[in-house]
Each structure stands twice: as C-alpha cells, then as structure tokens.
Structure 1
Amino acid sequence: MSERHPNHRTPTRGFLAGVRILEITGALAGPYCTTVLADLGAEVIKVEPVDGDGLRRRVVGPDRKPIPFDLVHRGKASLAVDIKQPDGRAIVRRLAAASDVLVENFRVGALAAQGLGYDDLVPECPDLVYCSISGFGQFGPMRDAKGIDLIAQAYGGLMSVTGSADGELAKAGYPVSDLATGMWGAIGILAALQRARAGGGGAHIDVSLADAVAAWSVWEVADYVGTSTVPGPLGTAHRLAAPYQAFTCGDRRTLVIGAVDRAWPALCRVLGVDLSSDPRFGTEYERFVHREELAELLQVRFDEAPRDEWMVRLREAGIPCGPVNTVAAMIDDSHYAARGMFPHDEERFGHPTVVNTPILSDGAPRATGRAPVLGADTARLLSELGFDDVAVDRLATRGVIAVADQTPGHAKRVTR
C-alpha cells in the first residue's frame, strides 16, 4: 500500500463548498464542531465579542501565544459584534438568513433571551440547521446545570471506569466529552443539511456533553446488564477480553497488545509459553475471568526483551500491538507524517504544528489556513449585507462591532 493517500484527481472544492456556517460559540465543543466542518470545505464565520473570544486570552508558552484558540479556529472568518446591543443582534439575524447552519454552545436559553434562539430565527430562516451544544441538553431535569468536560466525564460514567484497577480514579487525558460533542454535532448537522437540501426544511440539533460521553458506554453497559455487577476501572485492561492491555518490557518502555481470538495461540508461540493445558486460560471467557493471573505470567516474559524487539516479533506473527507514545513521539511519528495528521507549516498556519481532521479523501482538503485576527472579516461581511463605510464606522464607534487593525492578534473600533 502506498504511504500516501492515492489522489485520483486534484480537488478544487471541499465536500461542503458553498455551505455557510455561523458560529456563536466559546470554549471547545462548539469550535471543534465547526473546525471539522471547515476542514471539509464549509465557510465558517466565527461570531465573537468585540473584545474577543475568551479562548484568545488562554495563552501558552514563553511567547504567550493563543495557540488553543488558533488550533480550533483555523480557516475561519472573524466577525466581532456585540450581540447584547440591538444593532448587533440585527446583524446576526441578517447573517443567519444568509447562512445554512448556526452553531451555538451557550447555556440553555441564553441566545433565545437575545432573540436569537431557534424559534426566533426559523420564521425568517425555515431551512436553517440550528445546532445547540450544551452541558446537559435543551430539556430534562439537568438542563439548567452548568456542564464542562470534567463534569460530563464524571456524570456520564466515564470517570468511574477510568484509572488504575486499585480504584484511583482519573479523567481521560484528552477533553473527550468536548471533542465527542463537537463530533456528534457535526454528524447531526450533516444529516440535517441533507434533509434541508432535499426540501424537508431546517432542524434544531440538540447535543450535550453528558449525552456524548454516555453514548460511548457500550462495553460497560453490556458488562453491567450481563453480570449485574457495577463496572469499575481496569487500568489498561479490556472490559470483556484478555490479554488486552499494556505491558512493560525489558528496557522499561511500554507496549499494548490485544491478543484475543486467533491471536491468542500466536502470542503463546511468540512468548514461548504453553498454557494450553491450564484450565484458567482455556477459553476467551476464562482468560478474561483470570486476566490478572494471566497478566502476571505474560509480564515475566515481556521483561526479557526490549519493547521494539517484541513489537517486531508480535507484528510478524499478526498480533495487534503498539507503543505507548508520548505526545512528542506521536507528533513526530513517521506514520502520522505520511497521513498528514500533524502538518508542520508555520507560514501557512501561524504555528509550527496543527492537529488535522482525520478524514482523508481526494475531495477533502482538510486544514486550510490560519486562525483569524479578531474582527478580520467584520467590514467585509457587513459590506455583503449592504452596510456602507459610513455605517460601519458608526457601528464601530458605538462599540457594536470591532474591525481588525494591522497588528496580528488585535482589533480596534474604527473611528475614521
């Protein structure tokens, strides 16, 4: 197989070319949703306050760069507008009428209080796909509770099964509920767009952090339903199969294996152990029941050689295995380089490395450019709506909008 995706043609348009998305979000779940859609070719307009989205102020490194903001807003336009003012809300309403999708992730009812909820816009925009992202959803007893990634991981059961087997809990290292909700939102939007373009009208998509995490509990629910035992954390072990976990090798580096089904006899051959007559390991179910004793036996063998040597032997035998990479090792990995997962192009993206959308196709360009300077597209978008320079200046002077100056990362209110 080629190390690069076989492009049968040079794409000139993404899958979502011609789709305009209005994004009124903060934090991560909403912006991640629209970043995926932007990488698939949609035009995304980031609506943010005149003093900038809060994530712009979350800086990292000695240079204090807003890298978190930049990584989830690449390739978007920036409209800086104060939606708390009537004229600001009027601008958003006019843009919504010229858009296919609106994505918001504020507390339930916050935009409706400004006259920008789904029910407020649908009379003027009957085909609009309106996606609301929240902590607990648009209805239910918890609808008004504040929800963030940490709370969703706990509420959705994930934290109760994450961590070491001795019971010390841990949250997932990545903000999985934020990212998962963004992905579910993108899936719902794509489905609703299909219906809208077929003449079926718009839709209100309701996705939440708590639901997104709970939706991933497939193995744990199966375990609980089948055994009536509440699942707990297993470290790196699998919920229903063994051996399926991490092992430390002779050089103190770690690998993971998943030697189930037909890979089990192959693992025994590679490790040079004969467990065929041991009743504790005769079937997959028995190996799972006695997974701790099995892990102890296998660990003794893994201690006898370095990790990379074991991985060569395991892969030659067709046994699923892999290293436990650090983030640094992941970014520099040759396979990810071939797949284009971490493009290194500071001139194009404004940072040495970005995280790409993992959807490869000859029709999907993926990561498209830099994150916008605050207010970079305000004047252009207002011009498209019919505002002349005098009207733009007047709005800027009153603080309704902000228009970017020439200093990267800053904006000013125009007073010509």
Structure 2
Amino acid sequence: MTPGLRAEARPAVATTIAERLLRHTAQALPEGAGAGPDPVRFRIEWAGPVATELPDERAVQAACGLMHVHGRATGGPAPLAVDYASVVAGVLAALGATALRVGRARGLDLCEVRSSVAQGALLAVGQYLAAATAGGSGGPPELPFLPDSARQAGGPATLVTSDGVRVEIETLDPDAWREFWVRLGVAPAVAGRGWLPFQQRFATAVCPLPDALRQAAHRCTLPDLRAAAHHSGVSLLVVRSDPAPAVRPEPWELAPWPEPARGRGPHADSAVGFPSPRPARDAALPLTGIRVVESTRRVQGPLAGHILRMLGADVVRIEPPGGDPMRWLPPLAGECSARFLALNAGKPVIEADLTTAHGRRTIRTLTADADVFLHNWAPGKASRLGLAASDLPPGRSALVYAWASGFGDTFGDRPPVGTDYLAQVHSGLAAALRPADEPPAPSLMTLTDVLGGLVCAQGVLTALAVREATHQGSQVHSSLLSAGALVPRPAQRVRWTPLDRPLRTADGHLYLGPGARQRPDAVRRLLDGADTASAQDVTARFARRTTEEWRVRLAEAGLTATPVRTELSDLHHDAAFQTAVAPPDPANGYARPYTPWEFA
C-alpha cells in the first residue's frame, strides 16, 4: 500500500489501477513525504451517484453510453472487451488522492475522495454527450447508425490490403490525404469526399468512407500502401492482432528542471522563483490558487487542463489568432462547438501567434507567474519555437513543465502522427477491444485521448506534490501510448457467446448481468419453455418481448440485466442520472457530467 493512503473494498480493476498510479507517484516523492497519522483515503464504487444497480464493468458500459458510442461504427451497441471504464475510474481516484495530497500540503483540511466506475464512463463520453444535447446549429447532434451497406466489421476506418493486411492511416493535412489516394489511382474529387468523414471521426465515432477508397486500398499490397504513405506524408501502421502492449512505458516520467540554455539573449526575462504561497485551507477544492497555462489542441491536452480546472486550478488557454479551429466543429452550443466546450469551458483565452517573437514572448510572460505550463505540441516543436523547458526564463525551477505526446520517443525522430487511433493500434489495444471473432481495429471512440489526458493530469499532480516537498519543479512527460498501456488485457483475444453481447428486445437492447451470462441454462428456461434452444435462438426469442418485460422475468429468476443506452440525448432526463449529469442551461447549452469526485 502506498504510504499515506488507505484503501477500502471497491471494484478490483479500478482499485488496482489507482494503487499502481499512486505507487508511481510515491516513488517520485522524497522519503516520508505525505505520510502521517491521518492518511488520504480513496473509495471507488460501481454506480456512485447513478441511482441504479450496476454490478460490473459491462453494466456500466451499457447504462452510461460506452457501448453506444463504441458501437456506432459497426451498426449497433457493442461492449468494449476491456475494462475501460474501470481503468478511467482508477485514474480518477488516483487524481483525486494526489490532488488531496497537494492540497493538504497547502493547508487543506480534507482527507477522502470518492468516485465511481460510472462517473469514469460518463467522463469518457462527455464530448459525445455534449454534442448529443447541444441546442445550437450545425446539423443533427446524434448521427444515426450506418446502413448495412456502409458497415465494415471491425471499424469503418480500417483498410485491408490485397494481401489481407489490416492497416490504419492518419493525417491532419487534407493535401496529404488527397495525394495518398491519388497515388492509389483514386480521382481527386472522390478522395476529397472522404476527407471530412475521416477528419471528423474522432468527434462522431463513425467514418463512412466512399467505397471507392476501400476498393482502391484493397487492390494494393502493403508495400504499395507504404510507398504511397511515405511519398504523401501520411502515417500508416499495421493493425496488430496481438493484444499485448508493444511497449510498456511508465504512465508518466518526471525529470528535474534542466540547466538554462546558453546564449539566451533577449529570452532572459527577469528571474522568478517559487510562486508566492496561495494557501488552500479555506478552499473547497485542492488545487485552488494553482495557475496553469496550456497551449493544447484536440482532446488529450485540453482534457488534462479541464481535469486540473475541475480540481480547482485557474487554467488559461493559449490559442492561435482567430481561435482554435475546433471551436467551430458542429454541433454548436450557442456560438461555439459543444465538443470544444466540453473540454475548454471556463478557461480564459489569450491569442498568440507562436511563430512570431511577440507570441513566444507572451508564453514566457504568462509562465513567469504560473505553476504549470502544459502543451501537447508535436515532437521537436517546443525546441524550434524556443519554448522548451531549458528555453524558459532562468529562475523558473519551480515551474511544472508538462508535455503530453502521442508516442514519446518510441519511434525515434520520425514518429507517426500522434493521434488516438494510431496509439490504439501500436499499443495492442485495438486487438484487445474486440472479441476474437471480429477483426482487430481501433474503436472510433477516443479511448487513448481520454486516458492520455487523465494520465497527463496525474503526472502534473505528481510534479506538484514533489514541488510541495522540495520547492523544485519538474518536467513531466506522458503519452497516448503510455496511457493505452495502462489498460489490462488478456494474453489472447477473448471469445464471446451471443449472451456476451447486447440482446435486441422488442423496443431496444438489454445486456445480461454476470449471473445470467454465466448461467445460460437459466436464461433458456425463461424462453417460454425453450430450455434446449441454441444460443442463436435465444437471441431471436429475446426480440419478442420489451426490455422491461425481460428485466422483470430475469429478476423473478434471480438474474440481473441492464438496458443498453442507445441515445445520449435523453441521458439527463433519466431520473437515475439526475445527480450525475447536469442538464443544459443558459450558461452551458449542453449536458455534461458533474465533477467525478466528492471530497470530504
């Protein structure tokens, strides 16, 4: 057990993850730091504030929308074959406990944090929930499931070569996208029609590419695709069938503050030492008074800042002139993207062109009075801008300098684009997410982006805890790859029976509880005497009754089942979620999960 912490009975996977992260934090602290007679306690429950029975990971996935979002790309709700919500909950518990450690060092009189697996799941679907409930313009908030003609087993963004190899490509450049497909013999106009679905798949969790693109890829061998990717600047990775992580990096790495770079010239602003004390003893949140400057985009970095803000920090965003382009991604909540607001609401914005000396000077000025500087720039960008840790003003050795990357140094000096789906592929998570009878492919739900943001925030909190003990800041580095490696997975891909999947009822879907899944004979006996029915016949017979009728029949037999949520737009209307999800209001035109911690 980590010194200064006490655990109580709770979901096993979430507890294991929390304790692992807290041990990693404790290893960075000076010996004896944080130990005391009144230890920080954390508690993780299954349902937390969600007022319904959620006995296991799959029930949480069904009730909170994870099955819905993950299954969008393949035509219906589908479980993640890993304990993803539990992992998120474990990281949340570690975040809360470490934040309390920081707050207590600054005078905060709190010692316990509570969270739940359900709150982890709700945070993971937060962007999709915001989009589903936004009241602004920009098209329908919830995309319908794709028609049969558009479905591709294993994920509609994965390409299959003529030699049967499954690959994932990535680019953020429309010109590179077009050139890649033109090199495969696709007309530019046809290639162009695939760009928006491809680019927006991280927001919609679907990717209905034109059939002509898939067919062009299928006519090519893997070397052909690699050559086209190389010449066009598109990243390409082979989808691994082995669920084991390709590498097992630590969740985050801390390094001491670097020696100042020589020849700083005009960069050498006035020295600033340890920030003036900002006691938290009268605050309700552990990071009250902590100042964060972030220059981030997409999901991973903004979510890290969002987490720190929910814990009480003041977070200022640096955006390019005119604002972050993600602000206009539909649907809108008022005049801004609902998905963007789900990660960035409440953060004051300062616009700065970092390609200019004035813009870079803005960063240096802001970090001179900050506790944390956070970015998720591409590898090498900080040094090219003169904004690496060693380039910042001397005397800033108490600053926490955080970099959230895609792959760290795993690929050397020429890494692929550091996005969620390639991280799923390289980490083996893409193979672990789906059962053995489905081809491996990443989920189009941004799984590693969410975990990456949480892990980055935990690294920042660890560095702040170290600073409270030593008055020295740190550099902290985390990655999508290190976050994905946190997810436990079996040595071999799992095999499911039909009862391990959502069952279609007359009015929706139902997911059987652990007892029912482990007792198929008991389920068959409920099917109007068809106790010898095959598994396939069982699924067909379930479609004859409503979800509620089946819940009653199963309950009478001592079995549980959870209705599968297939729309997020009505989540805040569900009485069971009233204390877990905030409804849209004039200030926030979208529904959002309440903060996932309760401190005491």
Report the TM-score range of the alignment, normalised by the length of the smaller protein: 0.5 to 0.7
Letter of the 2:593 counterpart: N
Q: Residues 270 and 313 of structure 1 are in contact (CA less than 8 Å); yes or no, is this contact kept in structure 2?
A: no
What TM-score does the superposition give when structure 2 sets the normalisation length?
A: 0.47
User: Which of 373, 386, 391 pairs up with 1:115?
Assistant: 386
Deviation string, structure 1 residues 113-164 (Cα, Å, up to 9, x no partner): 2221123238432122221111111455376331212222222223334457
CA–CA distance in 1 between the matches of 2:333 and 2:347? 26
CA–CA distance in 2 between the matches of 1:77 and 1:62? 18
Letter of the 2:489 counterpart: W
**CA shift for structure 1 position 63:** 7.9
1:46-85 alignment, distance < 5 Å: 46-60=317-331, 65-85=336-356
Q: Which runs of 5+ in 1 are unaligned?
A: 6-10, 225-230, 279-292, 364-416
**CA shift for structure 1 position 243:** 5.2
1:336-375 alignment, distance < 5 Å: 336-339=577-580, 341-345=581-585, 347-349=586-588, 351=589, 353-356=590-593, 358-361=595-598
Q: Secondary structure at the match of 1:348?
A: coil
Deviation string, structure 1 residues 340-382 (Cα, Å, up to 9, x no partner): x24321x222x2x14235513257xxxxxxxxxxxxxxxxxxx
1:197-216 alignment, distance < 5 Å: 197-199=468-470, 201-216=472-487
Q: Secondary structure at the match of 1:112?
A: helix
**CA shift for structure 1 position 65:** 4.2
Deviation string, structure 1 residues 73-95 (Cα, Å, up to 9, x no partner): 11111111222222322221122
CA–CA distance in 2 between the matches of 1:2 and 1:212? 24
Q: State the identity as a percent.
A: 27
- Is 1:247 matched with 2:503? yes
Q: Residues 298 and 326 of structure 2 are in contact (CA less than 8 Å); yes or no, is this contact kept in structure 1?
A: yes
1:38-187 alignment, distance < 5 Å: 38-60=309-331, 65-121=336-392, 123-138=394-409, 140-141=411-412, 144-162=415-433, 166-187=437-458
- Is 1:256 matched with 2:515? no
CA distance change for structure 1 residues 141 and 321 in 2, over 3 Å: closer, same or farther? farther
Q: Secondary structure at the match of 2:293?
A: strand
CA–CA distance in 2 between the matches of 1:169 and 1:210? 18
Q: Residues 287 and 312 of structure 2 are in contact (CA less than 8 Å); yes or no, is this contact kept in structure 1?
A: yes
Q: Which runs of 5+ in 2 are unaligned?
A: 1-46, 52-281
What TM-score does the superposition give when structure 1 sets the normalisation length?
A: 0.66
CA–CA distance in 1 between the matches of 2:353 and 2:489? 46
CA–CA distance in 2 between the matches of 1:72 and 1:145? 25
Q: Residues 39 and 357 of structure 1 are in contact (CA less than 8 Å); yes or no, is this contact kept in structure 2?
A: no
Letter of the 1:360 counterpart: W
CA–CA distance in 2 between the matches of 1:192 and 1:2? 29
Deviation string, structure 1 residues 267-307 (Cα, Å, up to 9, x no partner): 75465269xxx9xxxxxxxxxxxxxx974364365345322
CA–CA distance in 2 between the matches of 1:3 and 1:76? 27
| Aligned equivalent of 1:296 | 536
CA distance change for structure 1 residues 357 and 175 in 2, over 3 Å: closer, same or farther? farther
User: Which of 551, 558, 561 pairs up with 1:321?
Assistant: 561
CA–CA distance in 2 between the matches of 1:15 and 1:316? 46
Aligned residues: 319
CA distance change for structure 1 residues 77 and 196 in 2, over 3 Å: closer, same or farther? same
CA distance change for structure 1 residues 315 and 42 in 2, over 3 Å: closer, same or farther? farther
Q: Secondary structure at the match of 1:131?
A: strand
Q: Secondary structure at the match of 2:344?
A: coil
| Aligned equivalent of 1:272 | 525
Q: Secondary structure at the match of 1:174?
A: coil
**CA shift for structure 1 position 185:** 0.7
**CA shift for structure 1 position 24:** 0.7
Letter of the 2:598 counterpart: S
CA distance change for structure 1 residues 295 and 98 in 2, over 3 Å: closer, same or farther? farther
- Is 1:35 matched with 2:306? yes
Deviates more, 1:153-162 or 1:94-103: 153-162
CA–CA distance in 2 between the matches of 1:98 and 1:169? 47
CA–CA distance in 1 between the matches of 2:357 and 2:363? 10
Q: Residues 14 and 40 of structure 1 are in contact (CA less than 8 Å); yes or no, is this contact kept in structure 2?
A: yes
**CA shift for structure 1 position 252:** 5.4
CA distance change for structure 1 residues 318 and 29 in 2, over 3 Å: closer, same or farther? farther
**CA shift for structure 1 position 167:** 3.0
Q: Residues 582 and 594 of structure 2 are in contact (CA less than 8 Å); yes or no, is this contact kept in structure 1?
A: no
Letter of the 1:151 counterpart: L
The structure number with the bigger radius of gyration is: 1
Letter of the 1:178 counterpart: D
CA–CA distance in 1 between the matches of 2:456 and 2:48? 33
CA distance change for structure 1 residues 178 and 318 in 2, over 3 Å: closer, same or farther? farther
Q: Residues 28 and 179 of structure 1 are in contact (CA less than 8 Å); yes or no, is this contact kept in structure 2?
A: yes
| Aligned equivalent of 1:395 | none
CA–CA distance in 2 between the matches of 1:133 and 1:2? 30
CA–CA distance in 2 between the matches of 1:294 and 1:99? 64
| Aligned equivalent of 1:219 | 489
CA–CA distance in 1 between the matches of 2:571 and 2:598? 22
CA distance change for structure 1 residues 310 and 51 in 2, over 3 Å: closer, same or farther? same
Q: Residues 513 and 562 of structure 2 are in contact (CA less than 8 Å); yes or no, is this contact kept in structure 1?
A: no
CA–CA distance in 2 between the matches of 1:2 and 1:209? 28
CA–CA distance in 1 between the matches of 2:403 and 2:553? 49
CA distance change for structure 1 residues 85 and 128 in 2, over 3 Å: closer, same or farther? same
CA distance change for structure 1 residues 270 and 159 in 2, over 3 Å: closer, same or farther? closer
Letter of the 2:596 counterpart: I
Deviates more, 1:183-192 or 1:58-67: 58-67
CA–CA distance in 2 between the matches of 1:330 and 1:142? 45
CA–CA distance in 1 between the matches of 2:371 and 2:595? 24
